[in-house]
Structure 1
Amino acid sequence: MIRFRAVVLTAAVATLSACGTSPPTPTAVTQASTATTPAAAGKTEVLWLGQAAIRITSPGGKVIVIDPWLTTNPKTPAGFKQLSSLGKVDLILVTHAHNDHLGDAPALAQLNNAPIYNGGGMGQALVNLGMVPAALSQRFGKSGTVMPFGPAGPKITAVHAEHSSELTLKNATTGKDETHYGGEPVGYIVELENGFRIWHMGDTGLFGDMRLIGDRYKPDLVLIPIGGHFTMGPQDAAIAVRDMIRPRFAIPIHYQTSPQLRGTPEEFTAALGTGAATRVIVPQPGEKVDF
């Protein structure tokens, strides 16, 4: 039996003319089932699985998984530790090569015969290191837009992120860790069939061109890191949302997975202030939001 529970949605709600046509209003946050069920007609489902791991089910039924660190992620619910529990996966996006983002992407790709798309140059390293076959590694570049499902399907654009991207593996022969080229960090603008736009920011610090990216792509929802230490903390994330991007909705990610990631959603919403025109949605890992 699946139990559903609502999560409080915090911060002010307002209409922003900068974001174009009004997107759907999100329904209550609910506990996700490991069973694969299509999103309701015309809806987008966003499932958070801890850290930066996200499963997006589009209105047309396409399943896009971003940064799937699951099997060793302490925040991923037990029901999603088995990769098969994600159900059908059509496409995988990886923002950069750090293990808490690349994570289980190679195994998930081969399990589903689903390609990994990377806009930062990491793809060739995955192939050269034998992590995925060439057919499952699709490359593009920052500011490039790909349409993996054809013109009528979701469109994906790689955008800048301010971070690093080392690819560290243990050499099976020597038993020592080796660091390889991991490309550049990126974020992704995912535009769904109904025009709803999601910006998964990956790991990033605050940078001035967030305003340009916001003005150019007008994301309705941002998935924004708030943990600090390796990424923006709550105060910088609030500056990005309130002063630069001005999305309708924000979901904080990448926090409290380890002791260094101290930022909290409460600190984020407090830093936004009562006049912020963004609704902050705070699911727990394993909960989904329908838009």
Structure 2
Amino acid sequence: MNLHAPFRLAAAITLVAGCAAPTAPPAAPRAEVVWLGQSAFKITTPQGQVIVTDPWLRTNPLTPPAFKQLDAFGRIDVLLVSHGHLDHIADAPALARQYNVPLRAPGDLNQTLTTLGVLPVNLLPRMNKGGTIEPAPGIKVTAVRAEHSSIYVWHNPASNQDEAHPGGEPVGWIVELDNGFRIYHAGDTAAFGDMRLIGERFKPDLALVPIGGHFTMDPAEAAWAVKELIRPKAVIPMHYGANPLARGTAQQFIDAMGTGAIKVIVAVPGQSISF
């Protein structure tokens, strides 16, 4: 009788079992997108960098209470403002100061902010549509056309009066994250033919498009632009619900999108969406 056979059999069973159930590799980190109301988003890259867009927060009725406290972000690596209207730029100067992060906006808007002394020059770099910058390691940003307007209203402390100053041309943003995921933040805009070129050139994985109407695309116009021109893989509607004049709703946008390959995601302010 071979007394060693049971031990050899047990070892073989252990070896086979180990091969059959290998340890699963850790899941790859994902991008996270949080809507903060209107056109404000917090985007966290797979490597943990934070991008903030159009931060109207403290007086925005849709912004969750936690994000009305500007220190809630912890860090901001990239700060983007599409144009000079209050509901897009309101808290951007305060965030730029608090996190010592440059405010990226249309070049002429930043020139106005520089002239008025809103922020120091080092926090107001100039750029324009065309070309691509890398404002933080691995993050690429391109300003593209938006069909809208832009002024900057500044309260003059000497006269105690509000003044309207040039806000440059409005822009949208193409943001490419460190894993290649591309986001098209359309800013405030009507539909325009060059959205097709933006879609073909950048092939966005996710589009953030305004649907409120009155000031921007309404749900039907936005759905047409998304389906016929931009053609992203997924879309999140924005710029609705915070202003009584912007009456478009997410349900109207869903209905206008109908069934198709483009995934419609209705964001809830403050809740994280992973990609």
Select the structure of larger CA radius of gyration.
2
> What amino acid maps onto 1:130 in structure 2?
G
Identity %: 56
Residue aligning to 2:32: 45
Aligned pairs (5 A) from 1:76-91: 76-91=63-78
| 8 Å contact from structure 2 (residues 84, 150) kept in 1 | yes
Deviations 1:218-270 (A, max 9, x none): 00100110000000000000011111111111000000111101001110111
Instruction: Quote how far apart the aligned CAs of 1:117 are.
Output: 1.1
Structure 1 residues not aligned, in runs of 5+ = 1-39
The normalised TM-score by structure 1 is 0.83
Query: Secondary structure at the residue paired with 1:139?
Result: coil
**Partner of residue 18, structure 2:** none
Matching of residue 162 in structure 1 with residue 147 in structure 2: yes
Q: Equivalent of 1:113, from 100, 111, 114? A: 100
Within 5 Å, give how 1:85-100 maps onto structure 2: 85-100=72-87
CA deviation after TM superposition for structure 1 residue 62, in Å: 1.3
Q: Deviations over 1:98-129 (max 9, x none)?
A: 00001100000000001111245211111111
Matching of residue 231 in structure 1 with residue 194 in structure 2: no
Distance 1:94 1:100 in 2: 10
Which residue of structure 2 lines up, in the alignment, with residue 290 of structure 1?
A: 274
Count the aligned residue pairs.
Answer: 249
After the TM superposition, list the runs of 4 or more consecutive aligned residues in structure 1 that deviate by more than 3 angstroms.
none
Contact kept, 8 Å, 1:120 with 1:186, in 2: the verdict is no
In structure 2, the CA distance between the partners of 1:265 and 1:132, relative to structure 1 (3 Å rule), is same
1:174 CA drift (Å) = 2.0
Tell me how far apart the structure 2 counterparts of residues 111 and 148 of structure 1 sit (CA, whole Å): 17
8 Å Cα contact 1:249-1:278 kept in structure 2:
yes
Alignment of 1:12-23 (within 5 A): none
**1:269 corresponds to which of 231, 250, 254:** 254
Whichever structure has more helix as a proportion of its residues is: 2
What letter is aligned with 1:234?
A: P
State whether residues 45 and 58 of structure 1, in contact with CA within 8 Å, keep that contact through their aligned partners in structure 2: yes
CA distance, structure 1, for counterparts of residue 190 and residue 108 of structure 2: 20
Unaligned runs of 5+ in 2: 1-26
What is the distance in 1 between the residues matched to 2:243 and 2:111? 30
Does the alignment pair 1:256 with 2:241?
yes
* TM-score (structure 2 length as normaliser): 0.88
